[in-house]
Amino acid sequence: MFGFSLPKLLILALIIFGVWQGFKYLQRRQEVQDKKRHEKVREARAETQGSADPVEDMVRCTVCDAFVASTGAKSCGRKDCPYPG
C-alpha cells in the first residue's frame, strides 16, 4: 500500500519542484515591490529636499534676548532695539 513506485516518486518530485518554483516566484515578486517602494521614497525625498526653505543663521537680540534672523530682522518694538523697524 505504501510502496515506493516510480510514478509516485515522480509525482512527489513534481510537487516539490512546483512548491520550490512558487516560493522563488513570490520572492522575486516581493523584491520587485520593495524596489518600487524604495524608488518612491527616494523620489519623495528628492522632491522635498529641493523645495525646502533656505536655512538662516539666528542671532540673539542684545535687548530682549529673543533669537532673530541675522538678515532681515525687524524691530521688537522697544525703543532701544538694535534692529530697524
For residues 3 and 20, state if they share a domain.
Answer: yes
For residues 48 and 65, state if they share a domain.
Answer: no
Q: Which residues make Cβ contacts (< 8 Å) with residue 66, sequence separation at least 6?
A: 60, 76
**Residue 62 structural domain:** 54-85
For residues 42 and 72, state if they share a domain.
Answer: no
For residues 45 and 82, state if they share a domain.
Answer: no
Say how far apart CA 43 and CA 58 lie, in whole Å: 31
**Structure-model confidence comparison of residues 58 and 2, the more confident one:** 58
pLDDT in tens, 12-48: 999 999 999 999 999 999 999 999 999 999 988 877 7
Residue 1: per-residue pLDDT: 58
Domain count, the chain: 2
SS (H, E, C) 10-77: HHHHHHHHHHHHHHHHHHHHHHHHHHHHHHHHHHHHHHHHHCCCCCCCEEECCCCCCEEECCCCCCCC
- Cβ(56)–Cβ(71) below 8 Å: yes
Mean model confidence pLDDT for the chain = 86
Residue 52: per-residue pLDDT: 62
For residues 24 and 47, state if they share a domain.
Answer: yes
For residues 48 and 59, state if they share a domain.
Answer: no
**Structure-model confidence comparison of residues 85 and 30, the more confident one:** 30
For residues 21 and 45, state if they share a domain.
Answer: yes
For residues 48 and 18, state if they share a domain.
Answer: yes
Number of neighbouring beta carbons within 10 Å of residue 68: 19
